[in-house]
Amino acid sequence: MVSLSVTMKSLKTIFPKLAALAEVLLVLAAGNLIGELAFSLIMPASVLERTASDPLLAAADGLLILFRLGTAGALGLLLLYWRTGMTARRTGVSTAGKPVLNLVGQGLLMGLVSGGLVAGLFALQELVGLGEGLSAWRTYSYQSLDLAFFISVLGTSVLIPPLTEEIMTRAYMRSRIVEAFGPMAGVLITALVFSLSHTRYISADGMLAGFLLILIVNSCIWTYSAQRTGSILPAFVAHAVSNGVGTLVLFNVWWPLMVIVIGLIPWLGELGSSIRGFRSDWREDIRKGSLWGGLLIIFVILLLAMTGLSLFGRTITLAVIGAASFLLTALLFATQKVNRGS
């Protein structure tokens, strides 16, 4: 009886955490699927068949990201509101009552750090050759600087991805995972889930592995910023700056790296203060032990996904993960009392 009681207590502790991660996976999968379906229904055949003009195709690529990630973010925020009453403003889609210029300044500082890490990786690639990287990166070396290019940069790098990913990740995902795991554990787990969702960087290629590591570090910085300020605006600015620096470096435009190095000098004290704040918040988070359980769950999910991909292929594996995530999420909604006043 004692053993059964302990087991039931453990299950009650683990289930909300597992269900939170399952809900996040479900939102990511469903949002992408619904967004892509809606995109295919409204786009003209010339776009879908890639026979339209280059500027139109570039705009469509950005719209596809907006549809997919935007739908995922909206779906997540709706689920969160339906279950807890938490509005989008409370998740960080606002200034949280803070001066806009102050938030933008924080974002620029983070963007300098994040962009510097990205530029440093590409500089190391130039010096020693870490790997092949993504084939898309190499296309920049011979792409024409025409209207289609600038539309593509805005739609697929500097504007739409930061906007939609910050709403989806730093607003919805962070709020949902922090609810289940606690503040700092939730911050780190959110950053890891967001980074690993960029599956194209999970590779033995040195360049891609390095980029994934930098993505994890940057994601931790941006997520902690959203948690501490209550607003995703600094993370959005940092994300946009980092992506912009990365795009310029792909064109062998290295002056942003020098700007970053010089620009960081006046902010060294602020950086040190932010690091000390992170350490202080981590020590005060009495639920930080939840981190290890969350990391274990993520590791098991990742291991099962990689095994499924190798044995059964992408379609079957994603279908199984999606079905399991749906069942866990439905079970959570069925068993947990809806409290819209929290």
Give the list of residues 6+ apart from residue 100 with CB closer than 8 angstroms, or none: 233
Is pLDDT at 123 greater than 70 in this prediction?
A: yes
**Residue 318 confidence (pLDDT):** 67
Query: Cβ distance 63 to 39 under 8 Å?
Result: yes
Where do we find the tokens 């010089």?
A: 262
In this structure, is the dihedral angle defined by the CA atoms of residues 49, 53, 56 and 58, taken in order, positive or negative?
Answer: positive
75-84, 200-209, 282-291: the lowest-pLDDT one? 282-291
**Residue 86 confidence (pLDDT):** 93
Nearest alpha carbon to residue 185 among 296, 337, 73, 328: 296
Nearest alpha carbon to residue 153 among 33, 257, 50, 251: 251
**Residue 70 confidence (pLDDT):** 95
CA-CA distance, 35 to 75, in Å (whole number)? 11
Give the list of residues 6+ apart from residue 239 with CB closer than 8 angstroms, or none: 111, 114, 161, 162, 165, 166, 222
**Residue 287 confidence (pLDDT):** 65
Band the pLDDT of 134: cuts 50, 70, 90: confident
**Residue 80 confidence (pLDDT):** 92
Where do we find the tokens 């099962």?
A: 304
Q: Six-digit token pair at 280?
A: 């202080």
**Residue 8 confidence (pLDDT):** 46
Contacts 24+ apart (CB under 8 A), 306-311: none
- Average pLDDT over all residues of the chain: 83
CA-CA distance, 239 to 110, in Å (whole number)? 8
Query: Cβ distance 39 to 64 under 8 Å?
Result: yes
**Residue 224 confidence (pLDDT):** 94
Band the pLDDT of 2: cuts 50, 70, 90: very low
**Residue 153 confidence (pLDDT):** 84
Domain spans in the chain, listed from the N-terminal domain onward: 22-335
Is pLDDT at 7 greater than 80 in this prediction?
A: no
Q: Six-digit token pair at 190?
A: 């959110």
CA-CA distance, 92 to 174, in Å (whole number)? 10
CA-CA distance, 18 to 23, in Å (whole number)? 9
Instruction: Give the other-Cβ count within 10 Å of 318's Cβ.
Output: 16
Give the list of residues 6+ apart from residue 64 with CB closer than 8 angstroms, or none: 35, 36, 39
CA-CA distance, 164 to 69, in Å (whole number)? 6
Query: Over pLDDT 70: what percentage of the chain?
Result: 90
CA-CA distance, 218 to 139, in Å (whole number)? 25
What mean pLDDT is predicted for residues 285-311?
74
**Residue 6 confidence (pLDDT):** 42
16-73, pLDDT tens digit by residue?
Answer: 888 888 889 888 888 888 898 999 999 999 999 889 988 899 899 999 999 999 999 9
Nearest alpha carbon to residue 134 among 157, 112, 113: 157
96-119, pLDDT tens digit by residue?
Answer: 999 999 999 889 889 988 988 998
Is the pTM higher than 0.75? The answer reads: yes
What mean pLDDT is predicted for residues 230-245?
94
- Exposed, middle or buried: residue 7 (CB in 10 Å: 0-12, 13-18, 19+)? exposed
124-128, 159-163, 207-211: the lowest-pLDDT one? 124-128
> What's the maximum distance between 2 C-alpha atoms anywhere in the chain?
72
164-188, pLDDT tens digit by residue?
Answer: 999 999 999 999 999 988 888 889 9
Q: Six-digit token pair at 156?
A: 């697929």
Nearest alpha carbon to residue 189 among 197, 179, 201, 181: 181
Q: Three-state DSSP class for 203?
A: coil
- The CA-atom distances, in angstroms, between 199 and each of 5, 22, 195, 212, 265 are 40, 17, 8, 9, 35
CA-CA distance, 112 to 22, in Å (whole number)? 34
What mean pLDDT is predicted for residues 320-338?
73
Q: Three-state DSSP class for 341?
A: coil
What mean pLDDT is predicted for residues 292-301?
77
Band the pLDDT of 220: cuts 50, 70, 90: very high
**Residue 142 confidence (pLDDT):** 67
Higher-confidence position of 268 and 106: 106
Where do we find the tokens 């940069």?
A: 153
